[in-house]
Every structure is written in structure tokens, then in C-alpha cells.
Amino acid sequence: MSSYSNWESYFPELDPEDIHARVATMWDFSWAYPLPKRPPMCGCGRREWHARTWGFTDRRRGEAGLRVKWRCNVSLKCAWCGEVRTWGVPVRDEYAAERLSWTELPNVQWREALRVAEARGFSPTPGA
Ligand SMILES: [Zn+2]
């Protein structure tokens, strides 16, 4: 049996609300920028990550058929082995528009994210 026997799952046709519902089970949107609800397991077996960047991209610019336009590319680095991972988190249009209005550039470095969070009345540090 091919390891690609579930190949259909690579090409889902999900409703946007289904996409947002799935994403909301994994990502916490209560802070200024998305963070994982539970730190993912790194390849080295640890779950301690340092925030790197949040970058908002308009995915519909190139593909008219996309159902969710905006992604927030959340980049974290393992505090032990240095592995860098980036997740392309689908976000709602209003969520992206609000965040894009907060900074000059669509890519936000972690220090800037902390400044923005504090200035906007979010807890200075996530989860605090
Ligand atoms: Zn690691």
C-alpha cells in the first residue's frame, strides 16, 4: 500500500469556516499575534520555543480561488537545537487588516511584537 493512500487529504476543499474552526483548536489568538495553544514537539523532543517573526501575507494575490485570503506566517525557533519552523496560519481578513494597521511592515520581529502588544493593551508577555 502506498504511503500516499490518503492523498486526497493533501488537496482538501474546506469551507472557510471549517478552516478557521480547525485553526482555532491549535492556535491562540488572544494575544497580539497568534501563538500555538500547546508548544509543538520539536524534532529534538523538547517543547521550548523562541518567537522569531509574524509575517502577514495576502495569499489571494496569486491565486483567485483561495478560500482564506490571509496567512500569518508564525516563525518559532527551538530553544535547544535551533530548529526553525514556520506555520502558515490562516487568519480572518479583519484580523489581518487590524494587525497590518499596527506596524509599518507586514513582518513583525519578536521585539517589535512585544512593544506592539504592550502599546495595544495586551498583556506585555503572552500568557502572563
Ligand atoms: Zn529542538
Q: Is residue 6 part of a domain?
A: no
Q: Is residue 78 part of a domain?
A: yes
Q: What length does the chain have?
A: 128
- HSE-up of 117 (CA within 13 Å, CB side)? 22
Q: What is the reported pLDDT for 122?
A: 94
Q: What is the reported pLDDT for 62?
A: 56
Range of the domain at 117: 47-123
Q: Is residue 37 part of a domain?
A: no
Burial of residue 73, with CB atoms counted within 10 A of its CB: 0-12 exposed, 13-18 middle, 19 or more buried: middle
Q: What is the reported pLDDT for 126?
A: 74
Q: What is the reported pLDDT for 101?
A: 97
Å from CA of 86 to ligand 1 middle: 14
The whole-angstrom separation of Cα 11 and Cα 33 is 28
Residue 27 contacts residue 126 (beta carbons within 8 Å):
no
Q: What is the reported pLDDT for 108?
A: 98
The whole-angstrom separation of Cα 117 and Cα 119 is 6
Q: Is residue 63 part of a domain?
A: yes
Q: What is the reported pLDDT for 9?
A: 76
Structural domain tally of the chain?
1
Q: Is residue 112 part of a domain?
A: yes
Å from CA of 78 to ligand 1 middle: 5
C-alpha cell at 101: 494597521
Q: Is residue 86 part of a domain?
A: yes
Which amino acid, 22? Answer: R
Q: What is the reported pLDDT for 128?
A: 64
Query: pLDDT means per 10 residues in the chain (128 residues)?
Result: 67 86 96 96 97 92 71 98 97 96 97 96 79
Residues lining ligand 1 (ion), CB within 5 A?
42, 44, 78, 80-81, 83
Å from CA of 44 to ligand 1 middle: 4
Q: What is the reported pLDDT for 79?
A: 98
Q: Is residue 1 part of a domain?
A: no
Q: Is residue 89 part of a domain?
A: yes
Q: What is the reported pLDDT for 5?
A: 67
pTM over 0.75: yes
Q: What is the reported pLDDT for 13?
A: 78
